[in-house]
Amino acid sequence: MALTRADWLVREAAHHERADALTADHRARSQRGEKHPVWDFLFTYYGYKPAQVRRWHPGAGVELENAPERSAWRWYSPGRSADSVVPDAAAFAAEKSDLAGLVERMLRRTASRPGQFGCFGLHEWAMVYRADELRHAVPLRLGQAGTDAVVENHDLRCTHFDAFRFFTPEAVPRNRSPLTREDQPLFEQPGCLHAGMDLYKWATKLGPLIPGELLLDAFELARDIRLLDMEAAPYDLAPWGVIPVPIETAEGKAEYVRRQRGFADRGAALRIALLQAWLGTSVRVA
């Protein structure tokens, strides 16, 4: 597939407009020196700046005609005509073989598994269980004793290592399975909120191999999941307009699972789309 310069400039401009809208509030807060306990995570934890979100690429194998300004961009190779370039999946794999292998394993294995929906977002509670000092300067909605009681009255079923690694020492042995970085591809499953948010991370790591439109779809999914993650967390975020989903109640659990399933469906479609954009339309995950 090839895009004329006129066509790809239109797509690039549309991407810039959409990305700017998605990051406008964060950029404004940054200029004022303000922190936000919910939304800063998308930029600090993942470490990608708004400028990276704004950068548009056509995706692997899509040739940009008359694009000499991109000839020196990383993982772009010469196209079929003068001054044309194309994002090169083979060049990426040759330079970043370990990363390419990890991303493919994570996407394929997660896509091949059924979702699990019984965690109720308790990973955030496990991070402050019997804690002497909180990770965030935000008070606990139920207080320390009430928060500890919720953890003790539930089964911790976290499957995501990058959440599990922040558990307090007292919470670690309460998890159903011990998790390690090496075993992460074995446990990751599509019902996990953080596995859904991480689609944004994988899309960004693949750089020009992922169409800009898919990157922003992944960012939007991460944004929407992050809100539920914090609504279900033990923190009192009322000053920031966050209405809690009280997962310590039957009603809160039901709402959490309902929305979790919706995110899992969105993530499943996006996971396949990322694999297909990167590796081709014949991708199979089973």
Quick check: is 127 in a domain? no
Quick check: is 284 in a domain? no
The span from the CA of 63 to the CA of 8, in Å, is 10
- Which run of H or of E encompasses 63? strand 63-64
Place 280 in a pLDDT band, splitting at 50, 70 and 90. confident
Quick check: is 250 in a domain? yes
* Count of domains for the chain: 1
Whether 186 shows a pLDDT value over 70: the answer reads yes
Residue-range definition of the domain harbouring residue 234: 38-55+96-118+183-279
pLDDT, mean of residues 96-110: 95
pLDDT digit string (tens) for 226-271? Answer: 999 999 999 999 999 999 999 999 999 999 999 999 999 999 999 9
Q: Please tell me the number of Cα atoms within 13 Å of 41 on its side-chain side.
A: 17
Quick check: is 229 in a domain? yes
Its pTM stands at 0.94
Whether 286 shows a pLDDT value over 60: the answer reads no
Whether 283 shows a pLDDT value over 80: the answer reads no
pLDDT, mean of residues 188-192: 97
pLDDT, mean of residues 25-44: 95
CB burial of residue 246 (10 Å; 0-12, 13-18, 19+) = middle
Percent of the chain with pLDDT over 70: 98
Quick check: is 202 in a domain? yes
Give, in degrees to the nearest 5, the angle at Cα 248 between 247 and 253.
35
Please, where are the H alpha helices in the chain? Answer: 5-32, 41-44, 50-54, 89-95, 97-111, 123-126, 143-152, 161-164, 184-187, 193-205, 212-231, 250-279
Quick check: is 149 in a domain? no
* Contact call for residues 144 and 104 (beta carbons, < 8 A): no
Quick check: is 285 in a domain? no
pLDDT, mean of residues 55-73: 95
Quick check: is 144 in a domain? no
- The token pair at 33 is 């020196």
Question: Which residues does 207 contact at the CB level (< 8 Å), separation at least 6?
Answer: 57, 74, 75, 87, 92
